[in-house]
Amino acid sequence: MVRSARRLIVIAALLLAGGQVFAQTAFEPPYGLHWGDSPEKLLSWATRQTLDVTISMPADQPNLRILRIQPRKGLLAEAQAGAVEGRFMSGKLYELTIHYFDPDASADLMESRFEALKKQVVAQHGPLLTNQLSRTVEDQFVTRIQSFHREPVKGIFLLLAFTEVEDLLRKSKDSKFSIIYRNDPLRVESLSAP
């Protein structure tokens, strides 16, 4: 009887651990990258794609490196995105953001692209939770923000954020959005590494 109970506990623990591993790998960043990769892997990708790279090293965070990659003009071929930004703590990738902006696209077209990406994310990863839905008017500018997230394991999440700014005086509006893949436990672990 005791042996059967122990087997059940071991099987349950393995199933739970397997579920966590699946959830963690379900949010691997795109472009063939993996959590903990070095900046060289993202730099190699940018070089193969002939993209511009900007490297930032904030003075108040000496272990942080931010690589922003974008084409000199136009969009990234694979995603209709304007830029990719990788954040590395102590040389390990812990966050990847894909920025979607297109000066040639209307705000309505950008919103439809956002809705299409949101549907794709839901199909791949499951339902999203709403973070923020807001609309503010100040000095003849209307700002509308929508954000949604999915966090199957504490600290490993995906965030979708959409922003639209409408100029009521000039009767124009501009929209952009981003998808952020983040592994906060890796960032914290990298901070405490010697």
pLDDT tens-digit profile of 45-74?
899 989 999 999 999 999 999 999 999 988
CB atoms within 10 A of CB 18: 10
| Residue among 173, 150, 152, 151 nearest 163 (CA) | 173
The span from the CA of 184 to the CA of 179, in Å, is: 16
Residue 23's H or E segment, with its range, is: helix 2-26
For the ranges 55-59, 151-155, 173-177, the lowest mean pLDDT is seen at: 151-155
CB of 100 closer than 8 Å to CB of 113: yes
Residues listed for the chain: 194
Higher model confidence: residue 19 or residue 83?
Answer: 83
Please state the pTM of the whole predicted model: 0.81
The span from the CA of 102 to the CA of 71, in Å, is: 12
Residue 192's H or E segment, with its range, is: helix 184-192
Strand ranges inside the chain, DSSP E: 52-56, 64-70, 83-89, 92-100, 129-138, 141-153, 156-167, 172-183
Residue 14's H or E segment, with its range, is: helix 2-26
Task: Give the list of residues 6+ apart from residue 151 with CB closer than 8 angstroms, or none.
Answer: 129, 157, 158
- For residue 103, pLDDT over 80 is answered with yes
Q: What is the mean pLDDT of residues 132-151?
A: 93
- For residue 25, pLDDT over 70 is answered with no
- Indicate the SS3 state at residue 68: strand
Q: What is the mean pLDDT of residues 102-127?
A: 92
CB of 96 closer than 8 Å to CB of 89: no
